[in-house]
Amino acid sequence: MTTANKRVAIITGGASGIGRETSLQFARKGDRVVVADFNEAGGQETVRLIHELGGEAVFIQVDVSNQQSVNALVQQAVDTYGRLDVMFNNAGIGGAGPVLEQNMDLYHKTIAVNQHGVAYGIMAAGRKMKELGIRGVIINTASVFGFLASPGTFAYHATKGAVIMMSKSAALELAPYGIRVVAVAPGAVDTPIIQGYKNAGMLDSMRAKVMGGELTKPETVAKSVYLVSLDEAEAITGSVVMVDQGYASFK
């Protein structure tokens, strides 16, 4: 495959956790990666790690809660590499807090990042793929907590439920252009968001409800995201792919 025909993947939240590991996974497989994050230092570190692997990547700073910033991200990626094949809308924050004790600033920030950020990514990538005539794939990070309730994460549940339905709706509308839209639903993944629940006593409970008794590694989720992105997965669209070690079933 020539450089011009190599796939190009934008990965938001690429400075850490699932986003970093997915960036590395795509780079290992020969794709060109646009690492996107608000955290410039972390994003540049991901790019450095990709370059160490011999991969090709650039960092673009983005605020996914701002539609103009997301639009600019997609345009800059295409200006840099000439195409867009994969959009992984992965950036997210925890948004913990009981329903009757919501910090409204945090509530609105959680909605803006986790829900609006995904919506902006779907719109910007979908328009660009349609314009370029690319049969691409848009992958969105949902969660088992888009299906299952637990105390203290009211806003987070709301956003992840929204991601699931936005993915299904967008898949229906973008199908005529050959653009797939898929949600992945991780369970208890060992990321900074999950580690933030240490003081809430949730980690031991999470470990008890997954196959093997350990939190899912971010690189495990990254491998599933990559598989969903392949042409061999062409029949998977409008679906929610559970990447949870059975968490939703065992709960």
What are the helix (H) ranges across 82-214? 104-110, 117-132, 154-174, 192-195, 203-207
- 132: closest CA among 85, 71, 174? 85
DSSP state of 66: S
Contact 217, 46 (CB under 8 A): no
Give the strands of the sheet with 137-141, arranged side by side.
Answer: 57-61, 32-37, 8-12, 86-89, 137-141, 180-186, 240-243
Rounded to an integer, what distance in angstroms lies between the CA atom of residue 148 and that of residue 157?
Answer: 8
What are the residues facing 140 on neighbouring strands? 89, 183
Active-site pick, 81, 120, 156, 197? 156
Contact 61, 71 (CB under 8 A): no
Rounded to an integer, what distance in angstroms lies between the CA atom of residue 132 and that of residue 48?
Answer: 29
Is 120 among the residues known to form the active site?
no
DSSP state of 97: B
Rounded to an integer, what distance in angstroms lies between the CA atom of residue 93 and that of residue 71?
Answer: 21
What are the residues facing 60 on neighbouring strands? 36
How many Å is the Cα radius of gyration of the chain? 17
DSSP state of 208: T
Contact 136, 125 (CB under 8 A): yes
Positions annotated as catalytic residues are 156
